[in-house]
Structure 1
Amino acid sequence: MSATAADSAVTASTDPAGGADFASLSPRTGAELARYAVHDGDHVRATVRAAGEAAAWWDGLGFAGRRTRLAAWRKVLARQLDRVARVVADETGKPFDDARLEVVLTIDHLDWASGNAAKVLGRKSVSPGLLMANQAASVAYRPLGVVGVIGPWNYPIFTPMGSIAYALAAGNTVVFKPSELTPGVAHELARTLAEAVPEVGRYPLLSVVTGFGATGAELCRAPGVGKIAFTGSAATGRRVMAACAENLVPVLMECGGKDPLIVDADADLDAAADAAVWGGMSNAGQTCVGVERVYVVETVAGRFLEKVRAAASKLQVGSASNEGDLGPMTMPSQTAIVRRHVTEALSAGGRAIVGGADSVHDDGTISPVVIADVPEDSVAVTEETFGPLVVVNRVPDVDEAVRRANATGYGLGATVFSAKRGDEIAARLRCGMVSINGVISFAGIPSLPFGGVGESGFGRIHGADGLREFTRAQSVARQRFALPVAVTSFRRTAKTMQALVGVVRARHGR
């Protein structure tokens, strides 16, 4: 999952400290957690070369060999779940149980990817058709070699593993560039894989390169990279694509969103309000598929808003000594964006239902904010906020809710609450994923593809589409027997061609 602010993983061109290493800091206390190297171009290129050499061995193991080793990794992650989650919580500032949930979902996706790769990607026979009936036709999906993954800080294990697990299961090796805010999580992934797969000492399956924007740019340009999977904003995504274009490296873009929640007149209002609050406030609102806009049908808007107010008012922001329900902003500078959105929404006529401008604190924490009746041209409606702010606007009917939901360049996820028309409403939404009578449910289902349209990017992680995303299709036609009359040969005669045209006209021209 992504963020506009997640771009720091790739936008800074140099180490701002000007040194050979940098510190990972606790968002809660500001204390230094560990130090990591700033890797330069030479190091990145050497890492990609080593990953490329390992890719031949990894591919050669076949689906069964890879599944066995990825299953061993899954077991190590499950046994060490709390240790890994603690690193996630320390580096992001999120509550420990939120970090544990992130690791739980990661393990489930790893299991699905490794268990289904053979079925999805293995060679399959296809019909050769009438004209090529003498051929046996088949298609298989072959690995790309080395996949570069540039990950975000808000879900520093779940989001990148949506690429890493599926790329590995497909037969690729991976070079992972994490955000400079969460390098320790990346090293935990590499450490646990090395513990599970002894051959990693000789064949680096998952390599980590750390640093700032320059390191990410070097990974995009490194010879031997077969694909880049990027998470961040559309603006940074364009720069990543430009760097990748130098070597014609394909890209997968997951670029954030401004996800709507639609509440129909017959919706379960208790469930819808709970979904709006959790979807908008969990992880301190730092979720690309989190709820940022709510469109509620006028006839139930008053009751819905009261339920949202009651639920959001109970949430507690954590501190250095108390986790609370919401942690601090992982990136302190994000508070300025949230403050601007809140202030402009209120100055434009929005009504504060919960919190307000004073909810944005100088210590990097933000208390929940709910604002109703915000003009549609306000930045709180048009731009990704990436903080615990939810805008709730009344609409006369579902048609207007759908129109407003689609009136954006984003198209990542959406949520619909409706007793009778959930599927109908979902089909009308311009986005990649929809949850009906639940929130962000699609992200937890490994078989469902995850990705967006428009400014939210392109390509898919998760599911069968996510496996194929890290492969190339290879088609094979094998002649079973020679045709009595050669068609694809200079021995072909005019009579032969006339007969062929006659068959086609008889079959397709009537």
Structure 2
Amino acid sequence: MSTATEQRTFDSLSPATGAVVGTHPIQDAAAVRAAVADAEPAAAWWGALDWAERRRRLLDYKAVVTRDIARVVDMVHQETGKPKADATLEVILAITHIDWAARNARKVLGPRRVSPGMVGVNLAATLEYLPLGVVGVIGPWNYPVFTPMGSIAYALAAGNAVVFKPSELTPGVGVLLADLFAESVPEQPVLRTVTGLGETGAALAGDPGIKKIAFTGSTATAKRVMAACAENLTPLVAECGGKDALIVDADANVPAAADAALWGAMSNSGQTCVGVERVYVVDAVYDDFMRELTGRAANVRAGQDYGPVTMPAQIDVIRRHIDDAVATGKVVLGGPESVREPYVDPVIVEDVPEDSPAVREETFGPTLTVRRVADAEEALALANASAYGLAGTIFSGDVRRAMALARRMRSGMTAINSVISFASIPALPFGGVGDSGFGRIHGADGLREFARPKAVSRQRFGLPGMNLTSFTRGQAELDRLVKLVTFLHGRRKR
């Protein structure tokens, strides 16, 4: 956790040992205003660079992060407690996203001609996407490099400057990311980090100089950020929590499904917004699946295979959900004794009622509820009966049925016969529906999220007898237009 001091600083602590990792300033509204003001000329300079120059500098940033990967990994490890192997995977994924955003920004956002249509035959039409200005990014602590970089890299590639407020649990990571960027772009503070507690994030969201906020965190906090943004009509992209489900169909590869469910639920101590929290297994393979799952889970232990619970307050939520599941369902592995702060060993419970907190609310811990269903249709109905709609997983031997289920799953992303694989594909958009938020990061949609469309029409030549946007227009001109439209659009399709 982090604690404020009388000197208006706060310490980031190792969740595993409690040792102080670093001390950082609590930047108030005035400090945030100054940071945004400094970023405004930087945004103008950065946005005026041509596409090739921004691409070169972003690729250089990618190279700097790659060069210092051990340093970044160590900071993530210290501030989150996650094993260095997991931190390494996170940083590598972030690197691939920086690369994709840099290489694809011009193709997605650059000027292009569009068809003016038959009525506009004398016009030329172009579309391009222009930078917004200064973008504010409020990042989470569970993936302090990968998740915010999904906004930072795409906002930078679109030509914006970024002011980044990392979680108070992982401020050192945020400071390091900005320091490394300054090596590649020393001329202007195009990416800068402000540190602090909730008041700092609120100041950033409410600053009138911010042209868009990208937020990752809980649904409750997203609503407060949205209220702050409303004061200035600042648009918001919000990636919130999830209660993601994994469906195991009758013809699924059962060992692979069990392995994916276990890793999706327990890796990073369950602190993954797109992790697996619910599993629905078709009756025909239920017993085989449970044997595979429990056999594998028996060898997984907190402190060895994954790290501690990073945010101490989350322990109370995890404990409450475990107690609820144990009281209403059938314990397969673990139980209340699995909570040994700051670690929680794997907990698996069967037959927990669908209206219980352990099934309805986001746990964000290494727990899993499993339910037997008659078929994949019942599984899908239960999976979709959630206020959240972030991601999901389907294991099936029938590709066509799996694709049909995936399309109908109420989620922003769905993985088939793999888990969380969509996050490793930079071209795919990432985001949710319902209580999981709105807007998208990653991919072409993520680039457009941080730009504004600019439409331009240009008359190439006049049309004799068709001057429609003039007070000199006569009835004959309007009649000719009606005849043209009737010819083009008046025939019914049968």
SS at 1:106's partner residue?
helix
Indicate yes or no: 2:359 matched with 1:381.
yes
**Aligned equivalents of 1:386, 1:62: Cα separation in 2:** 43
Indicate yes or no: 2:89 matched with 1:101.
yes
Structure 2: which amino acid aligns with 1:395? V
Indicate yes or no: 2:308 matched with 1:337.
no
| Selected match of 1:430 from 410, 418, 424 | 410
Structure 2: which amino acid aligns with 1:258? K
**Aligned equivalents of 1:258, 1:62: Cα separation in 2:** 42
Equivalent residue for 1:401?
379
**Aligned equivalents of 1:281, 1:111: Cα separation in 2:** 29
Equivalent residue for 2:143?
155
- The Cα RMSD (Å) is 1.2
Matches within 5 A, 1:46-195: 46-195=34-183
Q: Cα deviations across residues 18-55 of structure 1 (Å, max 9, x unaligned)?
A: 54100010111101111000001111111111111101
**Aligned equivalents of 1:481, 1:46: Cα separation in 2:** 50
SS at 1:225's partner residue?
coil
Q: CA deviation at 1:418?
A: 0.1
Equivalent residue for 1:215?
200
Equivalent residue for 1:271?
256
Q: CA deviation at 1:131?
A: 1.0
Equivalent residue for 1:3?
none
Q: Cα deviations across residues 249-304 of structure 1 (Å, max 9, x unaligned)?
A: 00001011000000001100110000000000000000000000000001111110
Equivalent residue for 1:12?
none
Report the more deviating stretch, 488-497 or 300-309: 488-497
**Aligned equivalents of 1:34, 1:336: Cα separation in 2:** 26
**Aligned equivalents of 1:461, 1:207: Cα separation in 2:** 20
Whether contact under 8 Å (2:294, 2:333) holds in the other structure is yes
TM-score (ref. length: structure 1): 0.94
Indicate yes or no: 2:421 matched with 1:441.
yes
Structure 2: which amino acid aligns with 1:20? R
Q: CA deviation at 1:196?
A: 2.2
Matches within 5 A, 1:321-336: 324-336=304-316
Q: Cα deviations across residues 306-335 of structure 1 (Å, max 9, x unaligned)?
A: 1111111101221xxxxx111111011111
Q: CA deviation at 1:358?
A: 0.5
Structure 2: which amino acid aligns with 1:482? G
Q: CA deviation at 1:500?
A: 1.4
Equivalent residue for 2:335?
356
Indicate yes or no: 2:238 matched with 1:244.
no
**Aligned equivalents of 1:186, 1:229: Cα separation in 2:** 15
Whether contact under 8 Å (2:248, 2:257) holds in the other structure is yes
| Selected match of 2:348 from 363, 370, 377 | 370
Equivalent residue for 1:295?
280
Structure 1: which amino acid aligns with 2:21? L
Q: Cα deviations across residues 34-79 of structure 1 (Å, max 9, x unaligned)?
A: 1000001111111111111101110111211100000111111111
| Selected match of 1:257 from 242, 255, 274 | 242
**Structure 2, unaligned runs of 5 or more:** none
Indicate yes or no: 2:390 matched with 1:412.
yes
**Aligned equivalents of 2:56, 2:82: Cα separation in 1:** 33
SS at 2:378's partner residue?
helix
**Aligned equivalents of 2:190, 2:426: Cα separation in 1:** 22
Q: Measured at CA, do residues 442 and 295 of structure 1 come closer, stay the same or move farther in structure 2, by a change above 3 Å?
A: same
Q: CA deviation at 1:454?
A: 0.5
SS at 1:336's partner residue?
helix
**Structure 1, unaligned runs of 5 or more:** 1-7, 10-14, 319-323
**Aligned equivalents of 1:16, 1:346: Cα separation in 2:** 37
Whether contact under 8 Å (2:151, 2:446) holds in the other structure is yes
Q: CA deviation at 1:498?
A: 1.9
SS at 1:35's partner residue?
strand
Q: CA deviation at 1:245?
A: 0.7
**Aligned equivalents of 1:399, 1:132: Cα separation in 2:** 49
Structure 1: which amino acid aligns with 2:156? L
**Aligned equivalents of 2:393, 2:486: Cα separation in 1:** 50
Q: CA deviation at 1:224?
A: 1.4
Structure 1: which amino acid aligns with 2:479? Q
**Aligned equivalents of 1:40, 1:357: Cα separation in 2:** 40
**Aligned equivalents of 1:482, 1:49: Cα separation in 2:** 47
**Aligned equivalents of 1:253, 1:298: Cα separation in 2:** 37
Whether contact under 8 Å (2:130, 2:451) holds in the other structure is yes
Q: Cα deviations across residues 183-237 of structure 1 (Å, max 9, x unaligned)?
A: 00001101111122232xxx11111111111111111111211100001111211
Equivalent residue for 2:218?
233
**Aligned equivalents of 2:330, 2:286: Cα separation in 1:** 14
Whether contact under 8 Å (2:43, 2:160) holds in the other structure is yes
Q: CA deviation at 1:351?
A: 1.4
Structure 1: which amino acid aligns with 2:482? V
Q: Cα deviations across residues 390-448 of structure 1 (Å, max 9, x unaligned)?
A: 11111011110000000011000000000002112111101000000000000111000
Q: CA deviation at 1:16?
A: 5.2
Structure 1: which amino acid aligns with 2:103? G
SS at 1:416's partner residue?
strand
Equivalent residue for 1:32?
20
Equivalent residue for 1:5?
none
**Aligned equivalents of 2:165, 2:153: Cα separation in 1:** 15
Structure 2: which amino acid aligns with 1:155? Y
| Selected match of 2:326 from 346, 354, 368 | 346
Whether contact under 8 Å (2:4, 2:11) holds in the other structure is no
**Aligned equivalents of 1:430, 1:232: Cα separation in 2:** 20
Equivalent residue for 2:468?
487
Equivalent residue for 1:503?
484
Whether contact under 8 Å (2:109, 2:128) holds in the other structure is yes
Equivalent residue for 2:443?
463
